[in-house]
Chains A and B, each alone.
Chain A
């Protein structure tokens, strides 16, 4: 190989290896490490809530004031959004970026519906006098659902950025990475729903 060809090849070399020594792509490995830390954040909140709940049986009366129908609809919406984002990944694997882009838009739409319903719930609960300072149950409720909603909003923007790139034929591998993050947000909600809405 001539010097010019070697220099050209070096210029094309990515700054970070596309694949770690573990054979797992670095992007995918990175999101899993991030989620391992998120397990501690959300898991810590949930386990603390469960421990306090066992000490405060009267919290079941407060949990009766959360809007179960809204929580159930949001569970349906979030599970459906997970289906959309995994279908987007499937479309990428099949090389159909147009379908992937459309599925990502549907995921964003579901995420926006989720946030809208959550905002309606907050408005209704605050209107009834249940604010974050109305007691320990409501502090946990607003902290856990609020932190989760922030993750949903962050996910919407991340998916929007990936969707824009994919619609232009760029970085399709990132669909799987944002998808894994979005599914994690879904998993957190799967636990929050029975803890805060169904155990009254």
Chain B
């Protein structure tokens, strides 16, 4: 396999195959935009986006192979984001009502 490597951390990743999956996911997103039911289309499009982001983070950014300390660093950022989101949600519900 031309682009498969075994790095110091024992990784076996075919980066070109992952790029192919990302391109397929992009095509699926564009097709989903033509679905008649807007809510279902949006939910599926965002689900595909989460899968794409997960693939990039796990394999291209090597998060799948990083030690726990790096994972905790990323989770710390996500926890801060959740706190911000919760605060904003409360504020919007307060201003606009439930």
The yes or no answer to A90 lying at the interface (CB within 8 A) is: yes
Nearest chain B CB to A46 CB, angstrom units: 9
1/0 contact string of B58-81 vs chain A (CB within 8 Å): 001110001101100110111011
Number of B residues contacting the other chain (C-beta, 8 Å)?
45
Chain B residues within 8 Å of A79, by CB: 19, 22-23, 26, 56
- Inter-chain contact total with CB atoms closer than 8 Å: 123
Nearest chain B CB to A195 CB, angstrom units: 8
A198 touches B77 (CB 8 A): no
Minimum CB distance partner of A54 in chain B: B92
A40 touches B92 (CB 8 A): no
Q: A44-B84, A93-B5, A198-B33 are in contact. Are A190 and B49 (CB under 8 A)?
A: yes
The yes or no answer to B94 lying at the interface (CB within 8 A) is: no
Q: A39-B80, A90-B5, A191-B49 are in contact. Are A80 and B56 (CB under 8 A)?
A: no
Size class of the A contact interface (CB-based, 8 Å) = 35 or more
A75 touches B15 (CB 8 A): no
The yes or no answer to A76 lying at the interface (CB within 8 A) is: yes
Nearest chain A CB to B81 CB, angstrom units: 4
The yes or no answer to B40 lying at the interface (CB within 8 A) is: no
B45 touches A187 (CB 8 A): no
Query: Which residues of A does B touch, CB under 8 Å?
Result: 22-24, 28-29, 32-33, 35-40, 43-44, 47-48, 51-52, 55, 60, 68, 72, 75-76, 79-80, 82-83, 86-87, 90, 93-94, 179-180, 183-184, 186-187, 190-191, 193-194, 198-199
